[in-house]
């Protein structure tokens, strides 16, 4: 190559690089143009607050509905369902996703490790029996749940390859400082055992979601100081009517806990 040709090539390359550098990146689509799908279990369907309907107990006052109301995306659909596990999510919820989906949110994993049965058992039995029940849940968490989460996250990415996928954690359920927790309330040793298992579940969800390239949204900080037994709880204690509200966020929990956590993860 002649010296003249070499100089010309360098000039052309330099000009192209300058043009590329000067061209602004394409602006992200505003949230008003997003297609949003909420997946997950009862913490995503809105159990614990008012307005629950249908077999899946979905409520517009859960965090997905509140985010929809605050951001007015182009479309919003919730297929989250009370009682959902990783298996039922994969078999019955993924059909709501597509290549045009822009945002996916979910909570999942609690039912896989027996969240409901663990908390109910701990309500009724001794401190030592509660600790043993939590250890059973931990065994499932450590030996079975990681592979189930990996498969679930991979399926979501495959069905919605262009979406931001936000995996939200679970709040630490109980305040451990207040000795009194209402009539029939949990003892402090029971609360500590459940909270420790809860934190371990969140740690696993964070690790596996981030390893899958998804967005992790921890809600522990948002709910700090507002656990069950605290002076201003954002979660329901054992509830007789309706019973499913037990140990789920109340309206303040979804509005002041989950919604800010989700919004912050998207900023």
The pTM assigned to this predicted structure is 0.89
CATH for 137 = 3.40.50.1110
20 pLDDT exceeds 90? no
The pLDDT, as a whole number, for residue 48 is: 98
Decide if 226 is catalytic.
no
Q: What is the pLDDT of residues 51-109, one digit of tens each?
A: 999 999 999 999 999 999 999 999 999 999 999 999 999 999 999 999 999 999 999 99
**Does 18 map to a domain?**
no
**Based on the structure, what is the number of domains in the chain?**
1
Q: Say which of 209, 248, 252, 265 is annotated catalytic.
A: 248
pLDDT value for 266:
97
d(Cα 266, Cα 70) in Å, to the nearest integer? Answer: 13
What gap in Å lies between CA 220 and CA 171, rounded to an integer?
A: 5
Confidence class for position 185, pLDDT limits 50, 70, 90: confident
Strand partners, 174: 228
Within-domain flag for 3? no
Number of helices (H), then strands (E), in the chain: 11, 5
The tokens for 225 are: 């100081």
User: Which stretches does DSSP call E strand in 148-259?
Assistant: 164-168, 215-217
Contact predicate 81/92, CB 8 Å: yes
Q: Which residues constitute the domain of residue 143?
A: 31-266
In a domain, 96, yes or no: yes
How much is the pLDDT for 82? Answer: 98
Q: Average pLDDT, whole number, for the chain? A: 91
CA distance 80 to 64: 9
Among residues 42, 209, 217, 246, the one annotated as catalytic is 42
Q: Which two tokens stand for residue 20?
A: 């590329």
**Helical spans, DSSP H, in 165-187:** none
- Could you tell me if residue 21 is inside a domain? no
Q: How far apart are CA 161 and CA 111, in angstroms?
A: 26
The answer to whether residue 15 is domain-embedded is no
**Inter-residue contact 40 to 77 (CB < 8 Å):** no
What is the Rg, in whole angstroms, of the alpha carbon atoms belonging to the chain? 23
């Amino acid at each position: 190559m002649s010296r003249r040709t070499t100089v010309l090539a360098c000039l052309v390359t330099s000009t192209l690089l300058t043009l590329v550098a000067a061209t602004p990146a394409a602006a992200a689509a505003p949230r008003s143009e997003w297609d949003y799908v909420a997946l997950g279990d009862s913490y995503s369907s809105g159990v614990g607050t008012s307005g629950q309907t249908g077999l899946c107990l979905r409520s517009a006052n859960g965090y997905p509905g509140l985010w929809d109301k605050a951001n007015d995306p182009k479309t919003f659909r919730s297929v989250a369902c009370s009682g959902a596990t990783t298996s039922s999510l994969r078999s019955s919820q993924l059909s709501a996703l597509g290549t045009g989906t822009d945002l996916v949110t979910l909570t999942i994993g609690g039912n896989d490790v027996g969240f409901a049965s663990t908390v109910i058992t701990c309500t009724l039995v001794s401190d030592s029996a509660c600790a043993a029940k939590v250890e059973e849940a931990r065994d499932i968490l450590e030996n079975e749940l990681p592979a189930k989460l990996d498969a679930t996250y991979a399926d979501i990415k495959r069905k919605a390859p262009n979406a931001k996928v936000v995996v939200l954690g679970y709040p630490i359920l109980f305040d451990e400082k207040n000795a009194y927790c209402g009539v029939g309330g949990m003892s402090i040793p029971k609360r500590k055992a459940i909270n420790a298992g809860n934190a371990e579940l969140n740690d696993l969800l964070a690790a596996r979601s981030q390893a899958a390239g998804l967005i992790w949204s921890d809600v522990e900080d948002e709910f700090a100081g507002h656990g069950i037994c605290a002076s201003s709880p954002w979660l329901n204690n054992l509830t007789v009517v309706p019973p499913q509200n037990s140990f789920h966020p109340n309206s303040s929990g979804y509005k002041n806990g989950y919604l800010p956590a989700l919004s912050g993860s998207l900023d």
